[in-house]
């Protein structure tokens, strides 16, 4: 699995965990006095949030993810439905990179880029 694909997967999973925390675990804690749900869902959400941050850095270093897009995805992770909108931007970025790579085939640009990154 490549970095961008993993980034998108973790981002969406983190978004789902945030919604579960807000819409399921918090009402269980404060309405029905069941605090254990917040403990487990909150823990999972925290791990996923930290993994998202690490993957954003890795994607910027390896997959040429622009800082601006990484910043937008990071800020979107702070909003309840943000990762779902950020995924759309990441998909668009992947599609543009794929089209650019296809248009550069055969002209040696990939060989030069691989040589420079080594």
Domain count for the chain: 1
- At residue 110, does pLDDT exceed 90? no
Provide the sign of the torsion angle of the four alpha carbons 100, 117, 77, 19, taken in this order: positive
Q: How confident is the model at residue 14 (pLDDT cuts 50, 70, 90)?
A: very high
Domain that holds residue 112: 3-117
- At residue 41, does pLDDT exceed 90? yes
Q: Average of pLDDT values for 10-22?
A: 96
Dist. CA 68–CA 62, nearest whole Å: 16
Dist. CA 38–CA 35, nearest whole Å: 6
pLDDT for 56: 95
């Amino acid at each position: 699995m490549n970095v961008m694909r993993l980034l998108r997967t973790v981002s969406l999973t983190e978004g789902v965990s945030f919604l579960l925390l807000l819409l399921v675990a918090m009402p269980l804690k404060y309405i029905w006095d069941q605090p254990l749900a917040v403990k487990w869902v909150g823990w999972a959400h925290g791990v996923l949030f930290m993994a998202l941050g690490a993957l954003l850095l890795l994607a910027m270093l390896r997959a040429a993810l622009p800082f601006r897009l990484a910043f937008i995805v990071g800020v979107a992770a702070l909003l309840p439905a943000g990762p779902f909108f950020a995924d759309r931007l990441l998909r668009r970025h992947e599609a543009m990179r794929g089209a650019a790579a296809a248009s550069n085939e055969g002209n040696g640009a990939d060989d030069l880029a691989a040589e420079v990154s080594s």
